[in-house]
Amino acid sequence: MARSMRFLFNLVFLITCLYTSTSVWSFTLPRHNPVPGGVALVPLPINSSTAPRVYYQDKRVMVAPNGDPENSWVAVAGIPLETEVGEQQLSIKTVNGDQLVSFHIKDKKYQTQHLKIKNKRKVNPNKQDMERIGKEKKLIQSALALWSESDQLPTEFVLPVKGRLSSPFGLRRYFNQQPRKPHSGIDIAAPEGTPIVAPMSGIVISTGDYFFNGNTVFLDHGNGLVTMYCHMSKIEVQPGQSVSQGEAIGAVGKTGRVTGPHLHWGVSLNDARVDPALFFDDINKYLSRKK
């Protein structure tokens, strides 16, 4: 159902472009999966030539052409992992006030993962560590919440690194038997030094060396879509730099809180951490199965 809906959205838009323009550009929406940590594609009851402003949980949401005369736009809303199951609402800003559109969040059960961390400070930081973590948290949250206007909508991602999926999205994690926040990205295990590339074009928001995340890069892809790359051995880009899809941004490492070399890849959509796999038809086709 989700795949057929995604196909329908894209097909209708392309057909519309063929009738309205001599130059056709295409985009690929993420898969519709309205669960905590997922993405909801919500048709908007707006017939307008310009994209409406839409908000979800007070965060601005990406809007894409739909091609339907009665519902000419679709909201592409990231759903935070902590969202409760049930009815949710988008707010469309109009000249006559806010117009609310409802959609439903389904339940999803994520697996549990237990990890053993040798460096105990990475599990129970000391006072000095906590001061550093507090400062870094603000920088990380600011980068992931960035909104920038862009006329371009997402193209289909390429995988940022060749490797094996070692930890999927949403895992309920325990470090040294102590519960921690759910896994907000995916981990791809690969040898140290393996190149990491931009999954789609964007601009480098910032880079840094963080207590938990190690060497990290944030990329802005526009309209509330931000990606994060952690635990890198080296960073090869600078803040403000434009990167193209497939361009190298650094290399796999084991900096920060890790059990071995890997890339933690996070995707933030309207400041909600969502499953990167939703930006692929089948991400498993691109991942190695070798351990």
- Residue 267 has what pLDDT? 98
Cα separation, 280 vs 31, whole angstroms: 8
Cα separation, 209 vs 253, whole angstroms: 12
- Residue 27 has what pLDDT? 61
* First CA to last CA distance, the chain: 32
Q: Please check whether residue 290 lies inside any domain of the structure.
A: no
The domain that contains 41 carries what CATH number? 2.60.40.1590
Same domain, 82 and 128: no
Q: Please check whether residue 291 lies inside any domain of the structure.
A: no
Same domain, 169 and 261: yes
Contacts of 107 (CB under 8 A, 6+ apart): 35, 85
Burial of residue 215 (number of CB atoms within 10 Å: 0-12, 13-18, 19+): buried
The list of the chain residues with pLDDT below 70 reads 1-27, 68-70, 154, 180, 289-291
The domain that contains 216 carries what CATH number? 2.70.70.10
Same domain, 273 and 164: yes
Same domain, 86 and 13: yes
pTM here is: 0.86
Which residue range(s) make up the domain with 9? 2-105
Task: Give the residue from 54, 73, 105 where a domain finishes.
Answer: 105
Same domain, 210 and 245: yes
Same domain, 76 and 143: no
- Residue 18 has what pLDDT? 32
Same domain, 276 and 139: yes
Same domain, 174 and 193: yes
Same domain, 101 and 166: no
Q: Please check whether residue 137 lies inside any domain of the structure.
A: yes
Same domain, 135 and 257: yes
* Cα dist from 103 to 40, 207, 227, 246, whole Å: 8, 36, 26, 35
Per-residue pLDDT tens digits for 110-150: 888 778 878 887 888 899 999 999 999 999 999 999 999 98
The number of distinct structural domains making up the chain is 2
Same domain, 45 and 149: no
Same domain, 117 and 152: yes
